[in-house]
Amino acid sequence: MEQTKSFFETPAPPNFKGVLSWLITTDHKRIGLLYLYTITFWFILAVLLGLLIRTELMFIGPTLVEADGYNALFTLHGVIMIFLFIIPAIPAIFGNFILPIQIGAKDVFFPRLNLLSWYLYIIGGIFALVSLFGDGLADTGWTFYVPFSVGTQTNVSYAATAAFILGFSSMLTAINFITTIHRLRTGNMKWLQIPLFTWSLYATGWVQLLATPIISITLVLVVLERVLQTGMFDPSKGGDPILYQHLFWMYSHPAVYIMILPGMGVISEIIPVFSKKSIFGYKAIVFSSLAIAVAGSLVWAHHMYTSGMSDTAVFVFSLLTFVVAIPSAVKVFSWVSTMYKGSIWLGPPLVYAMCFVYLFSVGGLTGLVLASAGTNIHVHDTYFVVAHFHYVMFGGTGFAFFAGLHYWWPKFFGRMYNMKSAYISAGMITGGFLFHFTPMFVLGMQGMPRRYYDYLPQFEQGNFLAGFGAYVMVAGILLMFYNLLRSLKKGEVATSDPWGGVTLEWSISSPPSLHNFETEPQPPEYPYDFARVIGRLRGK
Amino acid sequence: MENQNDATGKRIGMWLFLYTEIMLFGGLFVLYAVYFNSYKDDFIAGGKDLDTLFGIINTVILLISSFAVAASITAIRRKSKKLSLVFVISAVICGLVFLVNKYFEWGHKIEVGIYPNSDLLIDGEPGRNIFFGLYYTVTGLHGLHIVIGLTLLVISAFFISGNRITHQNDTLLENSGLYWHLVDLIWIFIFPLFYLIL
């Protein structure tokens, strides 16, 4: 139907063919897809590692691996999921592909820097792989807490270097996005005409700039400790291990918002489109993103209530943590209010989005249990924490990632996946998720500590159920990817606007042409005005 | 591409990057602040062990080099390619002198047995070990940044002589200059924190 060739047929820079036209491309869409392939690889690997952990824990005593292997398993699962999947997934895949289009640009501001970020991502991944060999896998957990991370004989240096490089990669992407949003908005697009997904990436970018350098320097210090033994965190040499925790969480708590904010952006796009109704509280969502970015940077020490801080510090950080819940709740209410009296079409993206809202709310509310110092002492470092952050990270960001995949897939490839399989896999993932993580809340309340290789007999039932749920969930995830891949060959050809969206990416062909827009795009007065779409639907 | 000539955008990108560099050193300064609070006396004693003269010379050298970089940007804007080149190269020389000074300073300290995990530090006061641990980490990281800055300046020099940086297109030189000023600025904080504590 379109005369222009899609970006699949027109490489940038021109004159290169085949693999090379991908490996040296500066086209933001191709780089987005490169990220899609590599990130999906790591995601599936880490999912399978997680499945091994759950299988090990399904039955009491050693099942698959010994205790050391178990430590390595959960470390690798955490490092890959955090640094190679959740942090880059939504910004690097959907951000790269969609952000420039949403603001009517031809590309990001620094296209070559963008490619460099991808290569850094690959190098970081290679370092993570190298740590598999030699002295054995790091066994510290993804937090690399001292003094253990300095004393252990395993490959902590490689894993820390991997995280350092990946941090650098995500920082460069953030610089790129912020500059792009400032400089490349089309013609007269004002700040409050920017679509919410792009807004969320803008807020995320700032958190990345603010926080990532801190983890970089912290990891450098850990490596220096191991190589030179400066004693910076070693109490016997005058150092203070608690300071390590402060520095670590100064990054890693804001990083939680780096992970969830882009996911919230995806949901803010999907819900109005599938309700055919303007988003409720556009400005409130924009400013709550920025508020989360600011407040989320000030709550890091709530991970450390039991590490030995003063009561005043505990009180202040507890209060600040409660404050962050407010902008998050603003978003949840806005999403639900958007659906109220909307004309809802329960397409697969919306199914994932609704699961997101539910799971994220449960995760957020249990976060308040952890935020208040009294209850935190009771459940600190138990499975309650594991369940909480999997609800927000996987139930939140993971589901937003799936939602985004189903939402933008036809735009990426110009093919529509099989709806029935999409619904089935969404159901399996959600059902499996609930079976998988809900027992962990109970186990945590009963006192089962996290990261333990084995447990007391009274915890066996809960762990068995969790393992059972894990299998259902993983089967659902594999079915979902199979369904998406299958659509590339057998799927129906998608129109340029299969969902009736109003942001600029739906006004161009699927897949887009090399320069995205044939003529200078005209952004709508208000980014979520569905009058035109509804008129078109009525006309049918 | 339309953004090839958007100097403002490139500057924004550079400023954002500089911001991350400040945060990077910020983490180390946080460590310094906390440990200074716990080991005040050891830090003061450690500061007296450092050679203030070396520190002052290096500070002056960096200030001169920063001036040279700024002057080279003004020169290229006034279309004086030769003068601009002279200034950039003199900034590079200043940077190299700084590194040589640092080499002798570190060399001397290592000679008298003050280096990470040395017997002298391990058996001595813990605060002293932390002070010198921080000293080596911070000045080492700063030295690394000097090397990166020098690389950028050398690249800029080649671009000036090859007419790829001109009065119409001086963003690369300006961004390298910004980076160099940042390295200088960080040193302005490092110098009093280590050499001039009481």
Q: What is the pLDDT of residue A231?
A: 85
Distance separating alpha carbons of residues A501 and A350, to the nearest angstrom = 13
At CB < 8 Å, which residues of chain A contact B? 106-107, 109-111, 113, 171, 174-176, 178-179, 182-184, 209-214, 216-218, 220-221, 224, 228-232, 237-240, 243, 246-247, 250
Residue pair A61/A144 in contact by the 8 Å Cβ criterion: no
- The closest CB to that of A238, out of B27, B117, B130, belongs to B130
Nearest CA in chain B to A229: B117
Domain for residue A7, yes or no?
no
- Chain A positions touching B123 (Cβ under 8 A) are none
pLDDT at A15 over 80: no
The two three-digit tokens of residue A145, written as one number: 């807490």
Residues A181-197 have pLDDT tens digits of 999 998 778 999 999 99
Q: Does B16 touch chain A (CB under 8 A)?
A: yes
Nearest CA in chain A to B119: A237
Q: What is the pLDDT of residue B166?
A: 86
The number of C-beta contacts closer than 8 angstroms across A and B is 110
CATH number at residue B15: 1.20.120.80
Full residue range of the structural domain in which residue B123 is found? 7-195
Q: Does B17 touch chain A (CB under 8 A)?
A: yes
Q: How far is B16 from chain A (nearest CA, A)?
A: 6
Residues A490-539 have pLDDT tens digits of 999 999 899 999 999 999 998 999 888 988 888 888 889 998 888 888 87
Mean pLDDT over residues A287-306, rounded?
A: 91
pLDDT at A2 over 70: no
- The closest CB to that of A237, out of B1, B122, B134, belongs to B122
As for how many domains chain B has, the answer is 1
- The closest CB to that of A224, out of B23, B27, B137, belongs to B137
Question: DSSP per residue over A483-506, as a string?
Answer: HHHHHHHHSEEP-S-SS---SGGG
- The closest CB to that of B137, out of A113, A184, A230, belongs to A230
Q: What is the dihedral of CA A111, A115, A120, A123, to 10 degrees?
A: -170
Q: What is the pLDDT of residue A146?
A: 85
Tell me which residue of A141, A167, A194, A280 sits closest to A504, measured CA to CA: A194
The residues, any chain, with a CB within 8 Å of residue B115's CB and separated by 6 or more, are B109, B121, B132, B136
Q: Which of residues 71-100 of B touch A (CB under 8 A)?
A: none
**Phi/psi at A127 (5° precision):** -60, -40
Residue A405 DSSP SS3: helix
CB contact under 8 A, B12 and A217: no
Residue pair A515/A106 in contact by the 8 Å Cβ criterion: yes
CB contact under 8 A, B13 and A216: no
CB contact under 8 A, B133 and A231: yes
- Chain A positions touching B6 (Cβ under 8 A) are 109, 183
Residue A492, strand partner residues: A416
Mean pLDDT over residues A385-393, rounded?
A: 95
CB contact under 8 A, A238 and B127: yes
Q: How many CA atoms lie within 13 A of B65 on its CB side?
A: 32
Residue A449, strand partner residues: A382
Q: What is the pLDDT of residue A1?
A: 41
CB contact under 8 A, B117 and A228: yes
Distance separating alpha carbons of residues A31 and A520, to the nearest angstrom = 23
- Chain B positions touching A184 (Cβ under 8 A) are 3, 9
Spacing of C-alpha A461 from chain mean position: 31
Between the alpha carbon of residue A251 and those of residues A136, A216, A299, the distances in Å are 27, 9, 10
Angle between helices A348-371 and A241-275 (to 10 degrees): 150
Q: What is the pLDDT of residue B136?
A: 94
Distance separating alpha carbons of residues A307 and A287, to the nearest angstrom = 34
Q: How far is B135 from chain A (nearest CA, A)?
A: 10
Q: Does B30 touch chain A (CB under 8 A)?
A: yes
Residue A344 DSSP SS3: coil
Domain for residue B1, yes or no?
no
Side chain identity at B87, as an amino acid letter?
A: F
Domain for residue A8, yes or no?
no
Distance separating alpha carbons of residues A511 and A491, to the nearest angstrom = 14
- The closest CB to that of A209, out of B19, B28, B133, belongs to B19
Domain for residue B56, yes or no?
yes
Question: DSSP per residue over B43-84, as a string?
Answer: HHHHHHHS-HHHHHHHHHHHHHHHHHHHHHHHHHHTT-HHHH
Domain for residue A503, yes or no?
yes
Domain for residue A521, yes or no?
yes
Task: Scan for tokens 């290169």, then name that residue.
Answer: A16
Q: What is the pLDDT of residue B56?
A: 94
Mean pLDDT over residues A355-368, rounded?
A: 95
> Which letter, b or e, does each residue of A76-88 get, where b requires 16 or more Cβ atoms within 10 Å of its Cβ?
bbbbbbbbbbbbb
pLDDT at A258 over 90: yes
CB contact under 8 A, B136 and A230: yes
Domain for residue A212, yes or no?
yes
Domain for residue A1, yes or no?
no
The model's pTM is 0.93
CB contact under 8 A, A238 and B24: no
Domain for residue B2, yes or no?
no
Mutate to test the interface with B, among A230, A233, A240, A245 (most CBs of B within 10 A): A230
Between the alpha carbon of residue A409 and those of residues A41, A406, A484, A487, B108, the distances in Å are 17, 5, 8, 10, 62
Domain for residue A340, yes or no?
yes
CB contact under 8 A, B24 and A213: yes
Distance separating alpha carbons of residues A363 and B190, to the nearest angstrom = 44
- Return the number of other C-beta atoms located less than 10 Å from residue B77's C-beta: 15
Distance separating alpha carbons of residues A358 and A352, to the nearest angstrom = 10
Share of chain A above pLDDT 70, in %: 99
CATH number at residue A336: 1.20.210.10
Per-residue pLDDT of chain B (198 residues; tens, 9 = 90+): 445 668 899 999 999 999 999 999 999 999 999 999 999 999 999 999 898 998 999 999 999 999 999 999 999 999 999 999 999 999 999 999 999 999 999 999 999 888 888 888 888 889 999 999 999 999 999 999 999 999 999 999 999 999 888 888 888 999 999 999 999 999 999 999 999 986
- The closest CB to that of B117, out of A113, A175, A229, belongs to A229
Full residue range of the structural domain in which residue A488 is found? 18-539
The C-alpha angle A28, B20, B173, rounded to 5 degrees, equals: 75
Q: How many CA atoms lie within 13 A of A432 on its CB side?
A: 23
Q: What is the pLDDT of residue A139?
A: 84
Distance separating alpha carbons of residues B109 and B120, to the nearest angstrom = 11
Nearest CA in chain B to A177: B13
CB contact under 8 A, A217 and B133: no
pLDDT at A12 over 80: no
Q: How far is A175 from chain B (nearest CA, A)?
A: 6
Q: What is the pLDDT of residue B4?
A: 60
Residue A493, strand partner residues: A415
CB contact under 8 A, A218 and B13: no
Burial class (CB in 10 A: 0-12, 13-18, 19+), B168: exposed
Domain for residue A372, yes or no?
yes
Tell me which residue of A266, A224, A454, A248 sits closest to A360, measured CA to CA: A266
Domain for residue B156, yes or no?
yes
Q: What is the ipTM of this complex?
A: 0.91
The two three-digit tokens of residue A539, written as one number: 């006309």
Domain for residue B168, yes or no?
yes
Banded model confidence at residue A110, pLDDT cuts 50, 70, 90 = very high
As for how many domains chain A has, the answer is 1
Residues A22-75 have pLDDT tens digits of 998 889 999 999 999 999 999 999 999 999 999 999 999 888 888 888 998 999
Higher-confidence position of B66 and A157: B66
The two three-digit tokens of residue A15, written as one number: 């004159």
Nearest CA in chain A to B15: A175
The residues, any chain, with a CB within 8 Å of residue A245's CB and separated by 6 or more, are A145, A303, A304, A307
Between the alpha carbon of residue B195 and those of residues A78, A151, B34, B144, B198, the distances in Å are 42, 32, 18, 20, 9
Nearest CA in chain A to B121: A237
**Phi/psi at A344 (5° precision):** -85, 130
CB contact under 8 A, B24 and A240: no
Q: Does B51 touch chain A (CB under 8 A)?
A: no
